[in-house]
């Protein structure tokens, strides 16, 4: 692909979803692929996470974060895929037409035949969560900031020895690992839910390592002195507590990165705040596909790569004229107990082998029930009876129906 030529496919995001999409397209014989990313190197968030467990759903191996990034990049060797970092998507319009800016490309308006949006997520910080208190020169962080500090070998202030982690999801326990690499002791984890949102054994391990876990609790205020964090006031079921600490780290509360989609043809889903897609990963904008964490907040890197692979395969089918370019099918209705589902649209032309199952999240824990996809009075498919936990991935097999369908809980 010539430096000044418009690509045939533009992929926005060089994380697991974007890189896997590029590989899938190349394997399908599609050329002219450009991947852009606003970071200084490709690989996405896994580049900063040195613990194992990345890529399982895609590569069937528990790579470290940087190891999985290297695996994805090695797959692209000799494919002709071009990657432009420090490049940002400014807007995406009908056409599709993309406006980009970066040192390698300058300010450019491109008209690719297809676009795959894999922009990932933004992390909520103290400001987003409206936590009051004093200001600090250092010591109030997000998981991503701490990961980059460790990966880039940036020195923390000498007085920082301990931190409090706000959140109990999977990423919160990843933050404990990262904090230990930075020489920080995690004294307390705080979660507003009635249980930890990650796996119970991780909570047990954290307690063994000396971390107190406070559930049904929330941080009321951060106390600072001389520009440094000195304590946090926490509301717990037993009353208000003042916890001495050198820092506070906010985890989870992820939001899909969709700023460049504002005012464009891609419709967003109310439940996820990300693009609404069908089973072919198509958005409402013709020729625009989406995959990865931009669809649903935080998911594992392996799952995002699996979605990216499917998006690349479906984009290739679109470019060959085998499927249409915009989402089509039946928008799923969901029961009140369900938080969201991805894909949100049941489409009959995209359920071949390798299609992504329906990915469901619950609003609350439900015991002894099963998910069922129903069309009229008929059950199209159903899952096993089990305990359905909130903030956990619950899968239902990819199934097509041309009738109006709804996702329900059944006994």
Same domain, 187 and 247: yes
Tell me the per-residue pLDDT of 230-277, one tens digit each, with 9 for 90 and over. Answer: 999 999 999 999 999 999 999 988 899 999 999 999 999 999 999 999
Domain count, the chain: 3
**pLDDT reported for residue 1:** 54
Q: Is the pLDDT of residue 400 over 80?
A: no
Residue 40 binned pLDDT confidence (cut-offs 50, 70, 90): very high
Question: Domain boundary residue among 280, 296, 327?
Answer: 327
pLDDT attached to residue 3: 61
Residue 377 — pLDDT band, cuts 50, 70, 90? Answer: confident
Query: Does the pLDDT of residue 350 top 70, yes or no?
Result: no
Helix (H) or strand (E) holding 372: strand 366-375
pTM of the model: 0.93
> Which CATH number covers residue 139?
3.50.50.60
Looking at residue 402, what is its pLDDT?
66
Based on the fold, state whether residues 216 and 263 are members of the same structural domain. Answer: no
pLDDT in tens, 207-226: 998 999 999 999 999 999 99
CA distance linking residue 149 with residue 361, whole number of Å: 32
What is the rounded distance in angstroms from the CA atom of residue 197 to the CA atom of residue 172? 9
Each residue's pLDDT tens digit, 275-294: 999 999 999 999 999 999 99
Q: Which residues contact 101 (CB under 8 A, 6 or more apart)?
A: 87, 88, 90, 107, 108
Range of the domain at 188: 128-252
Give the model's pLDDT for residue 343.
94
Phi-psi region at 197: left, alpha or beta (left = phi > 0; alpha = psi -120 to 50): alpha
Token digits of residue 153:
């070998």
Task: Using the 3D structure, point to which of 204, 236, 252 is the last residue of a domain.
Answer: 252
The 3-state secondary structure of 244-267 reads ECCCEEECCCEEECCHHHCCCCCC
Specify whether 278 is located in the same domain as 234. Answer: no
Q: Which of 252, 287, 305 corresponds to the end of one domain?
A: 252
Same domain, 303 and 382: no
Asked if residue 211 lies in contact with residue 243, where contact means CB atoms within 8 angstroms, the answer is: no
Residue 51 burial (CB count, 10 A): 14
């Amino acid at each position: 692909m010539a430096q000044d030529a418009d690509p045939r496919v533009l992929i926005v995001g060089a994380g697991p979803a974007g890189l896997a999409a590029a590989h899938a397209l190349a394997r399908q014989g599609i050329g002219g692929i450009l991947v852009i990313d606003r970071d200084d190197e490709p690989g996405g968030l896994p580049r900063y996470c040195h613990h194992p467990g990345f890529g399982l759903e895609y590569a069937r191996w528990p790579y470290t974060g940087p190891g999985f990034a290297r695996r994805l990049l090695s797959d692209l060797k000799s494919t002709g895929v071009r990657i432009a970092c420090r490049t940002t998507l400014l807007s995406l319009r009908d056409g599709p037409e993309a406006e980009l800016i970066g040192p390698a490309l300058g300010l450019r308006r491109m008209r690719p035949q297809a676009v795959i949006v894999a922009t990932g997520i933004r992390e909520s910080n103290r400001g987003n969560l409206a936590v009051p208190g004093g200001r600090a020169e250092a010591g109030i962080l997000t998981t991503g900031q701490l990961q980059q500090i460790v990966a880039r070998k940036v020195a923390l202030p000498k007085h920082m020895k301990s931190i409090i982690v706000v959140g109990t999801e999977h990423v919160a326990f990843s933050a404990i690992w990262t904090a230990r690499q930075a020489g920080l002791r995690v004294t307390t984890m705080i979660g507003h839910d009635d249980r930890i949102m990650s796996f119970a054994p991780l909570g047990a391990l954290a307690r063994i390592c000396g971390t107190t876990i406070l559930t049904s609790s929330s941080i009321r205020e951060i106390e600072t002195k001389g520009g440094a964090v000195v304590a946090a006031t926490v509301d717990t079921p037993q009353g208000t507590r003042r916890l001495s600490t050198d820092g506070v780290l906010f985890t989870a509360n992820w939001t899909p990165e969709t700023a460049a989609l504002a005012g464009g043809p891609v419709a967003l889903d109310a439940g996820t705040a990300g693009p609404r897609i069908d089973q072919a990963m198509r958005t409402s904008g013709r020729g625009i596909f989406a995959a990865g964490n931009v669809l649903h907040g935080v998911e594992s890197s392996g799952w995002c790569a699996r979605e990216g692979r499917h998006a690349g395969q479906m984009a290739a089918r679109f470019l060959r004229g085998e499927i249409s370019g915009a989402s089509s099918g039946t928008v799923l209705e969901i029961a009140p107990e369900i938080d969201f589902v991805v894909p949100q649209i049941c489409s009959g032309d995209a359920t071949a082998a390798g299609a992504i199952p329906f990915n469901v999240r619950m609003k609350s824990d439900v015991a002894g029930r099963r998910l069922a996809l129903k069309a009229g009075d008929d059950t199209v498919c159903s899952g096993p009876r089990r305990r359905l936990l909130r903030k956990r991935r619950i899968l239902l097999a990819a199934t097509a129906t041309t009738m109006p369908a709804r996702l329900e809980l059944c006994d």
